[in-house]
Amino acid sequence: MLDTALRQRRALLHETRCQTCSLASLCLPLALDIEDMDQFDAIIRRRAPLKKGEPLVRQDAPFTSVYAVRSGSLKQVTSEGRGDDQLTNFYLPSEMVGLDGIDAQRYPGSVIALETTTVCEIPFDRLDALSERLPELRAQIYRSMSKEMHEDRRMLRLLSRKTADERLASFFTSLSARFRRRGYSAYSFRLSMSRGDIGNYLGLAVETVSRILTRFQQQGLVTVSGREVNILDLAALEALAEGEGGA
């Protein structure tokens, strides 16, 4: 039995090494050579997997680390005032959590696992120190942050100009692209978030999300069964997402 535990532990350690990580090509150490990757690897902290609903970071907690998602998914929720939560982000494997806490030195929202989720913890002070010697790593940090800003701008546009249908279509095409990029099917996947989460994220009432999903099915764009999604007409969804509904 001890043997099993040992093997599991070794497997875990093995898995946690960047060099053998299947996400390495999408993650922070992306551009590093073998030697540098070892240095990077050395500052990463292992973490027990998070269970569904468990917070990775809590809003307003002191900023110490950023995190790379290895498997599973999370949502970022910012509470302000009484019960007025806003879901500001979903995080999928290879994406970075916590970069928005650098400025205020506190995390601006809680980040909560949507399913069983594993992450790599990267203490920021050590990352920063390492980035001093590794220009490629520095560039990758800048790129990650810049990309998130870029994404946020897309989201601003979605919220201020798009109709409910366009928002849902955007949501699906964006998820589809993100899954594809990670080597999963672009057409068939399982949502880890509830309708409520989706609505909150897209600025829509749950009822609206539900209604539009049934309409999308009637239109033959997708099939949805619970959280199982099948995209039938990606091109049409993409057109819809860009506002070519009937204009």
Q: Which spans of this chain sit near a copy of itself (rule: CB under 8 A)? A: 78, 80-81, 84, 86, 88, 99-104, 108-109, 128, 131-132, 135, 138-139, 141-150, 152-153, 155-157, 159-161, 200, 202-203, 242-243
164 interacts with DNA by CB under 7 A: yes
The least distance separating DNA from the CB of residue 44, rounded to whole angstroms, comes to: 30
226 interacts with DNA by CB under 7 A: yes
The least distance separating DNA from the CB of residue 226, rounded to whole angstroms, comes to: 5
Give me the residue label for tokens 């497997």.
Answer: 11
The least distance separating a copy of itself from the CB of residue 116, rounded to whole angstroms, comes to: 26
214 interacts with DNA by CB under 7 A: yes
* Helix (H), strand (E), coil (C) string for 218-247: HCCCEEEECCEEEECCHHHHHHHHCCCCCC
**Taking CB within 5 to 8 Å according to partner kind, which of DNA, a copy of itself, none is near residue 43?**
none
Of these, 113, 130, 213, 231, which contacts DNA (CB under 7 A)? 213
Of these, 22, 64, 88, 194, which contacts DNA (CB under 7 A)? 194
The least distance separating DNA from the CB of residue 102, rounded to whole angstroms, comes to: 32
243 interacts with DNA by CB under 7 A: no
196 interacts with DNA by CB under 7 A: yes
Q: Which residues, in sequence order, are CB contacts of 245 under 8 Å at separation 6+?
A: 163, 165, 166, 239
195 interacts with DNA by CB under 7 A: yes
**Taking CB within 5 to 8 Å according to partner kind, which of DNA, a copy of itself, none is near residue 164?**
DNA
**Taking CB within 5 to 8 Å according to partner kind, which of a copy of itself, DNA, none is near residue 120?**
none
DSSP result, the chain: -HHHHHHHHHHHHHHHSGGG-TTTTTSGGGG--HHHHHHHHHH-B--PPBPTT-EEE-TTPBP-EEEEEEES-EEEEEEETTTEEEEEEEE-TT-EE-GGGTTTTB-SSEEEESSSBEEEEEEHHHHHHHHHH-HHHHHHHHHHHHHHHHHHHHHHHHHHH--HHHHHHHHHHHHHHHHHHTTS-SSEEE--S-HHHHHHHHT--HHHHHHHHHHHHHTTSEEEETTEEEES-HHHHHHHHTT-S--
State residue 108 phi and psi, 5-degree precision. Answer: -75, -5
The least distance separating DNA from the CB of residue 128, rounded to whole angstroms, comes to: 38
163 interacts with DNA by CB under 7 A: yes
Q: Contacts with DNA: how many residues (CB under 7 A)? A: 20
Instruction: Give the interface with DNA as residue ranges (CB under 7 A).
Output: 163-165, 194-196, 203-211, 213-214, 224, 226-227
